[in-house]
Amino acid sequence: MNFTLRVWRQDGPETAGRFEEYPARNIPDEASFLEMLDLVNEDLIGKGIEPVEFDHDCREGICGTCSLTIDGVPHGPGRGTTCQLYMRSFREGEVIVIEPFRATPFPILRDLTVDRGAFDTIIQSGGFISERSGSAPDANAVPIPKTIADLAMDAASCIGCGACAAACPNSSAMLFVGAKVSHLGLLPQGKPEKNRRALSMVRSMDEAGFGNCSNYYACEAVCPASIPASFIASLNRQYAVAAAKETVGATL
């Protein structure tokens, strides 16, 4: 298969970026999008051109590192990560536009690579849970209803890729934060800190420069883990309760 790539190139955080066109020739239809970029980079290196820098790690749809916007959609067409996108999803001869994730709290480092350290800061602000370390407790020692366990597992499936913030017109990270706050707050082990966790993570999100939810549901549409936007509503409720308790001086 043959394609034309319009790729965002940027030499550094302080320099202006631009689109450059490169041919992608003789690409196997079973190649993943990242494998296609590898082949294009090999061709560029052979021509003495600086290869395109992009993030990748596991290439198994687990780590969420492959943060590319393809034809205006974070991770491209479909519902997986970029490394799970295969070139058979595109038409022969198609022009493919490739950009980094676009969100102010994700500054561009070079080409298609962005700094998503803001998500790490939000996670760190959540702190720890009050659970003893050492031997594992018996499986039945802490009864948890299946509906709650399933909901917590749904929230915990977030891989922190940042597609939700990149897709949102307001660069909102509320789907990410809602999932992280909920998956601990739903379980007994995380309940003692749930109010403090909601306050600190939302405030850390705001300090990082992420916007508020704009109800476009773009986050839900591009999430590779299919996390529902209902976790945003849950986050709003948890934050409102925690803020009210803080205002009246109740113990968090």
d(CA 95, CA 225): 28
pLDDT, position 216: 92
Smallest CA-to-CA distance from 88 within 23, 6, 3 is with 3
pLDDT, position 135: 77
d(CA 25, CA 9): 20
pLDDT, position 221: 95
CA torsion angle for 44, 46, 51, 56 (degrees, to 10)?
Answer: 100
Q: Model pTM?
A: 0.91
Residue 177 lies in a domain: yes
d(CA 129, CA 239): 18
pLDDT, position 111: 98
In terms of residue numbers, what domain contains 31? 3-110
Model confidence at 72, pLDDT cuts 50, 70, 90, reads very high
Q: What is the CATH number of the domain that holds 126?
A: 1.10.1060.10
Question: Residue 50 to residues 8, 184, 245: CA-CA distances in angstroms?
Answer: 13, 44, 55
Model confidence at 79, pLDDT cuts 50, 70, 90, reads confident
Q: Pick the last residue of a domain from 59, 81, 110.
A: 110
pLDDT tens for each residue of 144-189: 899 999 999 999 999 999 999 999 999 999 999 999 999 989 988 8
> Which tokens in the block code for residue 236?
């709003």
Do both 83 and 142 map to the same domain? Answer: no
pLDDT tens for each residue of 108-152: 999 999 999 999 999 999 988 776 777 777 767 778 899 999 999
Residue 252 lies in a domain: no
Q: Pick the last residue of a domain from 92, 110, 128.
A: 110
| HSE, side-chain direction, 13 A CA sphere, residue 182 | 28
87: three-class secondary structure by DSSP: helix
